Amino acid sequence: MPIPMQRNATPPDADWEGLLHTKGLRATRAAVSVLKSIHSMEKPISHDDLQQYLSQQSPSALVDSVTLYRILDRLSQAKLIEKVLGSDRIWRYTVAGERLHGFYECESCHQHFNLPRSSPLVTLLEQFSTQLKRKGDAAFAISFNVQGRCHDCS
């Protein structure tokens, strides 16, 4: 499966170590590398794809499989990243707070694609989110999955 495309480069002055420390996490080279990589992806990325991506970045960025699972779990618990479960039962990881925008998943190849920001469904969910926040229900998450076939699998 191809590795998701990168979004615009993450800011070079981002304080990744400080961000990890504010959440009570150790700022190891591996944790910083994983967090930076997820922030650079435009779509959710699986554990295996992330490990492959890290190995292509540099030998020093390589993280063994178990360590990567532990880092992803800690980052998820600290709300620095979010887990998205695909219909293939594979967890993918994305930047925290971006799930509201939703993803389109190809039911054949299981690639994830961002839904258009101008989608009426996204607008409706944003309005619902705003209403919940006004009501005082701040501890909630809204996610949805749209499934079908991508252009390549049609």
Point out the annotated binding site.
Answer: 106, 109, 126, 150, 153
Query: Cβ(149)–Cβ(123) under 8 Å?
Result: no
CA distance 74 to 31: 9
Q: Detail the residues annotated as belonging to a binding site for Fe cation.
A: 126
Burial class (CB in 10 A: 0-12, 13-18, 19+), 133: exposed
CA distance 52 to 75: 19
Write the DSSP symbol of residue 97.
T
Tokens (6 digits) for 119: 């989608």
List the 45-46 sheet strands across, edge first. Answer: 45-46, 91-95, 81-85
CA distance 19 to 23: 7
CA distance 4 to 19: 24
Q: Detail the residues annotated as belonging to a binding site for Zn(2+).
A: 106, 109, 150, 153
